[in-house]
């Protein structure tokens, strides 16, 4: 079964990744293909208040961490909201998720930024990149995807 991840919503990310891990015989998420999460496994440390100011996001963002799939022993996704709108969602995914999306869910319509290592857009508009063993997908407002990805890449 494919590991396509649709980063537009935590529920769909969790479901797709959970199904793919189950299909791979790793329903407990204790196998070797776990996501690597920086900031002491705290994905919501990805964007500081200074980063948010640089991005010119109005007001403070509410950051909510979650797990995709829900069976992970740590959080690997953070959703940044303000005023009922999702501004960004950052997921630190496994190498298998990255490779599956790169080969089976890569957009042929959106060109990724050349300055992000291993970058590609998936068919749902999520921007993926890989750096130093981290496999990251950024979704949310389209105008923020590349700037958010660059900020995070600079920290990895």
Reference 98, options 136, 125, 72, 154; nearest CA is 136
Of how many residues is the chain composed? 156
Q: What is the pLDDT of residue 13?
A: 42
Helices (H), the chain: 10-23, 38-41, 49-54, 95-104, 142-155
Percent of the chain with pLDDT over 70: 79
Structure tokens at 45: 């440390």
Cα separation, 48 vs 39, in Å, equals 12
Which of 18-32, 47-61, 67-81, 82-96 is least confident? 18-32
Residue owning tokens 């600079």: 154
Instruction: Find out whether 121 and 101 touch, Cβ atoms under 8 Å.
Output: no
Of the CA atoms within 13 Å of residue 56, those in its CB half-sphere come to 3
- 4 or 153, which is more confident: 153
The confidence score (pLDDT) of residue 8 equals 53
The predicted-structure confidence for 16-31, as pLDDT tens digits, reads as follows 443 343 333 333 344 5
CA-to-CA separations, 47 to 18, 61, 71, 119, in angstroms, rounded: 26, 10, 25, 19
CB 61 within 8 A of CB 52: yes
Query: Does the pLDDT value for residue 70 go beyond 90?
Result: no
Quick one: average pLDDT of 10-15?
38
Express each pLDDT in 31-43 by its tens digit: 568 999 999 999 9
């Amino acid at each position: 079964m494919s590991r396509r991840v649709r980063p537009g919503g935590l529920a769909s990310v969790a479901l797709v990744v959970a199904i793919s891990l189950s299909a791979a015989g790793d329903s407990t998420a204790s196998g070797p293909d776990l996501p690597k999460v920086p900031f002491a496994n705290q994905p919501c440390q990805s964007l500081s208040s200074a980063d948010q100011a640089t991005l010119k996001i109005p007001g403070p963002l509410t950051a909510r961490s979650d797990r995709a799939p829900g069976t992970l022993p740590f959080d690997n996704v953070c959703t940044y909201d303000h005023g009922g709108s999702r501004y960004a969602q950052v997921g630190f995914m496994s190498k298998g998720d990255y490779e599956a999306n790169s080969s089976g869910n890569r957009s042929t319509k959106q060109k990724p930024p050349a300055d992000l290592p291993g970058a590609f857009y998936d068919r749902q508009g999520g921007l993926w990149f890989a750096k130093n063993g981290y496999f990251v997908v950024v979704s949310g407002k389209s105008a923020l995807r590349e700037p958010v990805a660059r900020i995070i890449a600079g920290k990895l």
